[in-house]
A = this chain, B = another copy of it.
Amino acid sequence: METKTDEIILCNFGGPTKEEEVKPFLFLLFDDPLVIKIPFAPLRTFVAKRISKKRAPESNHEYAKIGYSPINKMTQIQADQLQTLLRKGNPNTDVHVINRYTAPFAQDVIPKLKFDGGRLFIVTMYPHFCHSTTATSVREVDRAIRDRFPSQEIDSTRIYSWWHNQSFLEYSTGEVKKKLDELIETQTEGPITVMFSAHGIPKRYRDKGDPYVTETTGHFHEVKRKILAQLDPQQAERIHWNLCFQSRVGPVEWTKPYTDETIDELAKSRGGHLLIYPVSFTSDHIETLYEMDVTYKEQALEGGFESYHRVMGANDDHRFTECLADILQAHGL
C-alpha cells in the first residue's frame, strides 16, 4: 500500500532573531493589507517602507534588550514536539512551520510538501480568530497552495479559532490558577488583580465585525468562571478581574480598555498585587518580554501596586503540544 502522509502546518507571526531582521520584519508587517488597511498596494508599500524605517531603531533597541524574539524557536520546538507526539499514532505525519513575517515563508515551504494523498491540516498559533493574524496567515498559505496547484481546490482542514477547545481552556485556566494560587499563598494581604491582556486592534475593525474581541472576551469569562468555581468565596472576594488590550500604535482609537491606562488607574485606586496574563500570546514575544515585563511592570510598581507577576506564554510547554494535538484530533486528524 502506498504511503500517504498527513501534513500539518503550524502558522505563526514570526519575529526578528537578530538586528538585521528587525526592519524587514516590520516592513512585511506594515505592508500587509490585513494589518494596514490601505487597499492601493503601491501607497501601502510606500507607507510600510517609511514606518518600518522610522520604527526600526527603537524597535531594535527593545528587541536587543530581550535578546531578540524567541517566537521562531518556540514555534519550531512546538512543531517538533507535535510531530513526535502525532507520529506515535501515525508514523506518516509531518509538521511544518510557516511564519507570516519572517522565514520560513509559505512560498518556500509549500513547494516542499509531499501532497502524496494524505491529509493537510492548517492551524495557527493564535487561539482567537483575527483578520490581522489568523486570516492573513491562512491566506498566505492558501496563496502558496494555489500557486502550486493553480487549477484545483486542494483538500484541507483549516482551523481558524480554537480558544474554546476544552483541553486548551483547561490548560489556560491551569496556568492562571497556578500563579494565582502562589500569589494567594505568598501575599496574604491586599487585593489581587487578575488582568488578562490581549493584543489590541483598531476599534473600527471590531465595529466592522472582526470576531477577535468577542473571542478574547469569551476566553476571559470562561477562565474566570472555571477559576471562581474552584475558589472558596472568601478567597474570591480578594480577586478582581480585568480584560484589557495592549500594544496600540498609530493615531486611531483601538479596542478598550487599554492595558497601560488601566494599570495606571488601578495602581492608584486599588493597589495590591497585579497578575497579568497574556491571553492572546502562545509564545512570549516583544509584547510580553518587553512591554509587559519591562514597561508595564515599572508602571505598575511605580504607580502603586505592591507586586507584579506574570503568567508565561505557553512557549515550549509539552502540555500545550498536547492541546494542539487535541485540537487537530477534534478536527478529524
Contact = CB atoms under 8 A, between A and B. Distances in A.
Contacts of A156: 214, 217-218
A160 interface: yes
21 contacts: A138-B209, A139-B209, A142-B214, A153-B213, A153-B214, A153-B217, A153-B243, A154-B214, A154-B217, A155-B220, A155-B221, A156-B214, A157-B222, A158-B214, A158-B215, A160-B211, A164-B331, A166-B330, A166-B332, A222-B332, A330-B330
How many copies of this protein are present in the complex? 2
A242 to B, nearest CB: 12
A217 B169 contact: no
Nearest to A333: B164
A135 interface: yes
Contacts of A155: 217-218, 220-221
A129 interface: yes
A102 interface: no
Task: Give the size range of A's interface with the partner.
Answer: 20 to 34
A41 B224 CA distance: 41
A127 to B, nearest CB: 13
A282 interface: no
A218 B157 contact: yes
10 tightest Cβ-Cβ pairs between the two chains A and B: A155-B221, A139-B209, A153-B217, A164-B331, A157-B218, A164-B332, A157-B164, A156-B218, A155-B217, A153-B213
Nearest to A131: B209
Contacts of A211: 138, 158, 160
Contacts of A330: 166, 330
A193 interface: no
Contacts of A99: none
A61 B256 CA distance: 51
A161 interface: yes
A138 to B, nearest CB: 8
Contacts of A221: 155
